[in-house]
Structure 1
Amino acid sequence: MQQFIGMGVALVTPFKDDFTVDVDALTKLVNFNIENGTNYLVVNGTTGESATISKEEKELIIDVIVKANNKRLPLVLGVGGNNTLEVVKELKTRDLSQFDGILSVAPYYSKPTQEGFYQHYKAIAEATEKPIILYNVPGRTARNMEPSTTLRLAKDFKNIVAVKEAGNNQQQYYTLLKDKPADFLIISGDDDLALGVTLAGGSGVISVIGQAFPKEFSDMIRLGLEGKNKEAYKIHYKLMDIINLIFEENNPAGIKVLLSQFNICSNKVRLPLVSASENLHHKIKNFISNF
């Protein structure tokens, strides 16, 4: 699964002033990332505000990104939810020919048991032949998928090839890295821990900050994969403050402020999220001016 090693980015969905999808800005964002070192693109993930995107808009976003990418980078599509039957239905009916894999978030709100997680992902794995990246993000789903469950799935289903682990829990990363099958990928979903996880044996990151600093962040991950920790940590320390800032209020409000400063897209987010405060705007502008 070489296509999922390095730095993937979880693309935002840019909006116009009327909160419709900004096709031109999305195209610009895709090209900016491709031209500056991003290794693969994740479409319609939680950073893309998938919870407030309609089915029609999802089709538009997919079409725009596929066209802009023009087969230059691997594409991963977010297909997940807490209605297992609907997720399975989408996987069975959607044309996935343009995508190299699926990122499927752990079921949210329902708070399943570990067996519930297993059966949910079993149904997904049996619904498609595409490579599947599990996505554990307990801060959003209200339930942690334990390493034992992740590893059980990795061993039982050949098309479950990786986990995007985003519990901000170093011990959980270490457990996964220690016990994983040889060809199973541990991908960081925490920008602040991404380098440490990579140096410990991880396969890189699916990043939020990376889409604003694709050259720097992808260079850092590449150096980490090469075991060049001193060089990699120089970049990590340079970006550490901005990583903290973009998550200070909510995601993706923070990263959209940063992207707006680079004239890539607006800072608009859809309710129930609200745009970043003036205070956060000021902090981010100050960081950029001193970068």
Structure 2
Amino acid sequence: MDELYGAGVALVTPFHSDGSIDFDGLKRVIEHQIKGGMDYLVSLGTTGETATLTEDERKAVWKFTAEVVAGRVPLVAGIGGNSTAEVVHQLQSVDHRDYVAILSVSPYYNKPTQEGIYRHYKAIAAASPLPVILYNVPGRTGSNVSPETTARLAHEVDNIVATKEASGSFDQFSKIMRDKPADFLLISGDDPATLPMMALGAAGIISVVANAFPAEVAQLAKLCLENNYVEARKIHSKLIRITELCFAEGNPAGVKEILRQLGICGPTVRLPLAEGSNQLSDMIRDELKKIA
């Protein structure tokens, strides 16, 4: 999966103030990513507020994204959930011809055992027409995909090709790197951890902050792949504060406020999320002046 090396972005889904999808805004976001040199785009991951979209809206976003991208960069589709049967249904009912892989978050809320997680992903892989990227984000799902389960799936299931890791545990990252097959990819799912994870051998990042700063994130990943950590650290340091602000009041409220101030799309999010506060907006404005 050479397409998954370097910098990917978990695209936001822009909304109009009435809550409907802003497809013109989404087009601007996509063009901003391609102009900035992102290696691939992820449509409808967590940052895309997928949990608040209807099935018809999800299909419309995937179709529109593929039409706008028009083959210029690889595309990954986010398809996950806490019902294995429903995820399998989505995989079988969506047109994936313009996509290279599926990103599937581990089941949330249910708190399955490791055996349950293993069986969940085996069922998804069996149903998927495309290679599957695991997505481990315990802070959101309430359960962790252990390094042992990751390695088990990586070795036993041919079309499970990578994991997006957002556990925050470098012990876990190290064990995955030690135990995985040579061609299985570890991908950072946490912007602040990108540089140190790539120093361990990760293939890249699926980023949130890249929605606003694609050129910087793409260059950071490129420098890390070239083992040029001296220059990579400069970009890492530049992005520390703005990344903090991205997540200060929840994702994607922070990055959507940044995109608003950059003139790319509006700040609207769907309930139960709420737009960023005036205080956050002021802090973002001050930081943008510093890093412009």
TM-score, normalising length from structure 2?
0.98
Q: Note the alpha carbon deviations across 1:8-47, whole angstroms, 9 max, x for none.
A: 0000000111110001010011011011110000011110
| Pair 1:258 & 2:258 matched | yes
Counterpart-to-counterpart distance in 1, 2:92 and 2:17: 35
Matched, 1:247 2:247: yes
Partner of 2:195: 195
CA RMSD for the aligned pairs? Answer: 0.8
Shift of 1:51: 0.6
The aligned residue for residue 158 of structure 2 is 158
Q: For residue 130 of structure 1, what is the aligned residue in structure 2?
A: 130
Question: For the residues of structure 1 that align with 2:61 and 2:205, how far apart are their CA atoms?
Answer: 22
Cα shift at 1:169: 1.5
Secondary structure at the counterpart of residue 183 of structure 2: coil
Partner SS, residue 135 of structure 1: strand
Q: Which residue of 2 aligns with 1:85?
A: 85
Contact 1:260 1:266 survives alignment (8 Å): yes
Mind listing any 5+ residue stretches in structure 2 that lack a counterpart? none
The match for 1:96 is: 96
- The number of aligned residues is 291
- Provide the rounded CA distance (Å) in 1 between the counterparts of 2:93 and 2:54: 17
**Aligned residue number for residue 33 of structure 1:** 33
Letter in 1 for 2:149: T
Q: Deviations over 1:74-114 (max 9, x none)?
A: 00001110110111122123221111000000000000000
Task: State the match for 1:53 in structure 2.
Answer: 53
| Residue 184 (structure 2) aligns with | 184
Contact 1:129–1:159 under 8 Å retained in 2:
no
Contact 1:212–1:259, Cα closer than 8 Å, also in 2: yes
Amino acid at match of 2:238: K
Q: Any idea what SS the aligned residue of 2:249 has?
A: coil
Distance in 1 separating the partners of 2:142 and 2:276: 24
Structure 1: 5+ residue stretches without partners: none
- Equivalent residue, structure 1, for 2:113: 113
- Give the match's secondary structure for 1:192: helix
Do the aligned residues in 1 keep the contact of 2:59 with 2:94 (CA within 8 Å)?
no
Quote the sequence identity (%). 48
Moved over 3 A (4+): none
Partner of 1:228: 228
Alpha-carbon displacement from aligned partner over 1:193-251 (angstroms, at most 9, x marks no partner)? 01111121000000000121111111011000110000000110011111111111100
Deviation (angstroms), 1:179: 1.6
Q: CA deviation at 1:129?
A: 3.5
1:279 aligned partner, one-letter code: Q
Per the normalisation by structure 1, the TM-score is: 0.99
